[in-house]
Amino acid sequence: MNDSSQSIRAWRVFGALALAALVSCQSAPITHRPQLMIMDGGTELALGNEVYQDMISQAIVVKDARLNRLIMTVGRRVAAATGRGDMGWEFTLVDKEAPNAYCLPGGKVVINSGILPIAQNEAGLAAVIAHEAGHAIARHGAERGSHARVRDLGLELVNMGLGHTLAEKTKMRLAWGVDFVMSLAFPFSRTHELEADEMGLVYMARAGYDPREALEFWERMVEYGYDEKKTLLEFLSTHPADKTRLRKIRLLIPKVMKEYDKTDKLGMGGQIL
């Protein structure tokens, strides 16, 4: 590559970064946390649909009519409470032992049957669905993708702009530096998990489910041993340690009880199993 085409490329990358900075003025609902977001909604939705179809085609979908009705009822109540009726909400229960659930962009929710005994009642299930809905509504996946793109562009700029003057070793160190600063400035998993908890509490309370049941649910998860191995690695783990999570949820309860008090109060709802 000659000098002029290299500098044109460098300016293009610089332009893309500047554009990223310009269009990044977005914030998550409920928490109002500013977000860097350069992935467009269309791309995010297409990716989400693809993953959702993949997940369902590779899993055994539970046929039990009563359980499916229950998932639909709780799911629709939570979805309505998010104020995002425009999202194409879908709820699928799959036969899988690991206690987990996912919500892909666009409101495509996959619930593993293994989480039902821990959810115990409708409010526990609402806590799970509302937490997952929080991830999707705050576009956490797209935010992660946006950061990765900006990081790549930054590295490319380091590489091109300083390509002639720096030794490979120094460039490598700079690249690590970019990654390091990004990871310090945006410790995603922790932030995203706690944000989804906060949003979820508000949504489940607005749906009429007692938000205190979310705390009960997470306490049962701790008992079950979820994240047990990761507690020592709190800083690095993809989920915040459970003690932190429980403490934060406990702190949020008085605020969300006000939302709950405005509803017809479904309490913990019916038992699941």
What residue ranges bind Zn ion (CB under 5 A)?
193, 196
Quick one: which H or E segment has residue 238?
none
In the bound state with Zn ion, the residue whose beta carbon lies nearer, of 142 and 196, is 196
Least spacing, CB of residue 196 vs Zn ion, in Å: 5
* Distance from C-alpha of 100 to C-alpha of 128, rounded to nearest angstrom: 9
130 neighbors 199 (Cβ within 8 angstroms): yes
Least spacing, CB of residue 6 vs Zn ion, in Å: 43
Least spacing, CB of residue 252 vs Zn ion, in Å: 15
Quick one: which H or E segment has residue 32?
none
Least spacing, CB of residue 189 vs Zn ion, in Å: 9
* Distance from C-alpha of 1 to C-alpha of 85, rounded to nearest angstrom: 51
CA 192 to chain CA centroid, Å, is 6
* Distance from C-alpha of 125 to C-alpha of 120, rounded to nearest angstrom: 7
Token code pair at residue 217: 């649910």
List the one residue out of 123, 93, 126, 124 whose CA is nearest residue 108.
93
* Distance from C-alpha of 132 to C-alpha of 92, rounded to nearest angstrom: 13
**132 catalytic per annotation:** yes
* Distance from C-alpha of 134 to C-alpha of 140, rounded to nearest angstrom: 9
Least spacing, CB of residue 175 vs Zn ion, in Å: 30
Q: Which one of the listed residues 132, 143, 156, 195 is annotated catalytic?
A: 132
* Distance from C-alpha of 134 to C-alpha of 118, rounded to nearest angstrom: 20
182 neighbors 153 (Cβ within 8 angstroms): no
Q: At what angle do helices 122-137 and 65-82 cross, to 10 degrees?
A: 50
* Distance from C-alpha of 173 to C-alpha of 194, rounded to nearest angstrom: 32
259 neighbors 202 (Cβ within 8 angstroms): yes
Residue with the shortest CB distance to Zn ion:
196
Least spacing, CB of residue 134 vs Zn ion, in Å: 8
What residues act catalytically? 132
